[in-house]
Each structure stands twice: as structure tokens, then as C-alpha cells.
Amino acid sequence: MGDWLGTGTIAGYLRKYRPFQEAREFARSLNIKSQREWENFCKGQMPEKGPLPLDISASPHLTYANSGWVGMGDWLGTGTIANQNLIYRSFEEAREFARSLNLKTRKEWQKFCKGQMPEKGSLPSDIPIKPNRTYAKSGWIGVGDWLGTGRVATFNKSFRPFKEAREFARSLNFHLRAEWRKFCKGQMPEIGTLPPDIPNAPEFVYKNKGWKGFGDWLGTGAVATFCREYRPFLEARAFVHSLNLKSTREWSLFSKNQMPRKEALPSDIPATPYKTYAQSGWTGMSDWLGNGKKQRKNSRS
């Protein structure tokens, strides 16, 4: 069409381009630093560099795909190599380098890779930024292994059976969940440190393997609400009737053990009966307390 109309334009597939090495020599002479700059040059957006010669392809990755193309870094002479063309060290060699940095966390590794820890040097081109992907099937275990800190991802850890782990937890003589949390964070050095085969979040690890709550875990006797077994509704209500409480407020005080003249709330009587017995007998607080009060119904004559 360019010949037909006399514009001089030649269709891309009809053009004769310079051999790869000659074309690359031209590209490198431009001192362009990135693919984006190359694209701008090809579009005539860098007039100071001159126009793109007709025998130089704007899409060298297609034109020279099978005749020398390695990547844009090679084409422009910047030395940058596309990720898919990089050849990395073996896992063991790369891990040895990573461990030599004495980094402690994944965050520190990421900072190093971004050049934010100049005192450690720069990341070699044959060490991947994301080793978990590069070595996923050739040795990768976790960041703790990669950096040599000894830390193992929770899902890769082997924990003690529930009963053995609970026995250890009870031996600490803690009374509160907060104490357990502090111990797990290393904030109670006088007690020691958390063994690697004991989880700091046992409620998740042992969820379907015996877990009943922190009261059971620590041996305090407290049982998590969702694990408690309550009296049947009629028996529970009969007990409450015997208390002769007169109002919802009095029930609230009693259930919080704020009525010293009354006995303490039994563990098998719920403090929130409207939830526990919602589908098994609950009709209202008046019925629960047995004070005979009825809700008034509006009627029209």
C-alpha cells in the first residue's frame, strides 16, 4: 500500500531488517536505559535521538526471536536480564549466601533486596528476590530455613500431641490467657521459653483435637462458654425460680456474682439464658424468673 500510494511506507512483514548483531549495535548506540524509553524512541517521542531507521525493527523481540534475542537488557546493553532468562545459583548455594547476611526476618530480607540495607551489599543477579517461588520444588522449606534463624512456618511444624502439649502448659501454673500470651512472646524469661513443638496459638492447632478452651489448657478449671454443658431448660428455670429475683437487673447482678447474699451462679446455668434456650423453651424473662409479670398486649374494642 505504501508503494501503491507513493508514501514510501513498507509493511512490516515485507521489510528487510539488519542482521541481529548490527541492529543491536545500533540500539546500544542510543544509550537508552529501559524498554519504555525504547518504545518512546520508536514512536518518535525522543526527537533528539533521531528517527527509527526503516531497517531496524520496533519489535525486536519478535523479529529476532530465533536469531539472537535474549532480552531487552541485552538489546540496549544495560546488562539487565529478564527474569525468565536468569540463571540462578543452586538452592544450597543461594541459601548459603542468604544465611551469610545474618538477617533475622522476612521483612529484613525484603529490605535487603530493595537495596535498603547498603551495609550488607547488593543482591547478586543470580540470587532470586522471591526464593520461595524459584526454589519451590528444589529445597524451599521456609524463610527461617532460608535465613538460618531456625524458625519454621506454623503449617510446616510438627507439634506435640494435644494432651502432652496441655500437660506442659499446665506445668507453668498460669491463671490467665494474658500470661500465656506474654510467655509465648518471650516476656517472661524467668519461666523459660516456648518449646518449638508447642504452639503459641493452641486454639487453632488443636481446634478439632481436644481443645476445650484456655481454662482447660491452663488447668484453671474455667470452661469456655461454647464447651459448657447446661442443665435442661426446665431444671434451670426451676433453680432460678428458687432465687426469688424480681427483675432483669437483679438477674444481671446475680449472674455477675454481685449479690453476696445469694449463692454463686452454678457453672451449668447460663448467664444469657435467652441465647442458650432460644430454641428449647425460652419465652421471656418473666417466665425465667417466675415473678408472674406478663407483657401487656394492646387491645382495641
pLDDT, residue 300, reads 39
pLDDT tens per residue across span 236-289: 999 999 999 999 999 999 988 898 888 888 888 999 999 999 999 999 999 999
C-alpha cell at position 96: 548459603
pLDDT at 1 over 90: no
Same domain, 211 and 242: no
pLDDT tens per residue across span 190-207: 999 888 889 888 988 898
pLDDT tens per residue across span 94-121: 999 999 999 989 999 999 988 899 999 9
Of 182, 211, 227, which closes a domain?
Answer: 227
pLDDT at 3 over 80: no
Same domain, 7 and 68: yes
277-287 exposure pattern, b = at least 16 Cβ within 10 A, e = fewer: beeeebeebeb
Does residue 299 form part of some domain? no
- Residue the block writes with cell 435442661: 232
Does residue 60 form part of some domain? yes
C-alpha cell at position 231: 442443665
Does residue 301 form part of some domain? no
pTM of the predicted model as reported, rounded to 2 decimal places: 0.37
Of 199, 227, 255, which closes a domain?
Answer: 227
Of 127, 153, 179, which closes a domain?
Answer: 153
DSSP letters spanning the chain:
-HHHHTS----GGG--PPPHHHHHHHHHHTT--SHHHHHHHHTT--GGG-PPPTTS-S-HHHHTTTTT---HHHHHTS----GGG--PPPHHHHHHHHHHTT--SHHHHHHHHTT--GGG----TTS-S-HHHHTTTTT---HHHHHTS----GGG--PPPHHHHHHHHHHTT--SHHHHHHHHTT--TTT----TTS-S-HHHHTTTTT---HHHHHTS----GGG--PPPHHHHHHHHHTTT--SHHHHHHHHTT--TTSPPPPTTS-S-HHHHTTTTT---HHHHHT-----------
Does residue 238 form part of some domain? yes
Contact in structure between 88 and 127 (CB atoms under 8 Å): yes
Same domain, 137 and 166: no
Q: Tell me which residue range forms the domain holding 116.
A: 91-153
Mean pLDDT (the chain) is 85
pLDDT, residue 152, reads 61
pLDDT tens per residue across span 66-85: 888 888 888 998 876 666 66
Contact in structure between 282 and 233 (CB atoms under 8 Å): yes
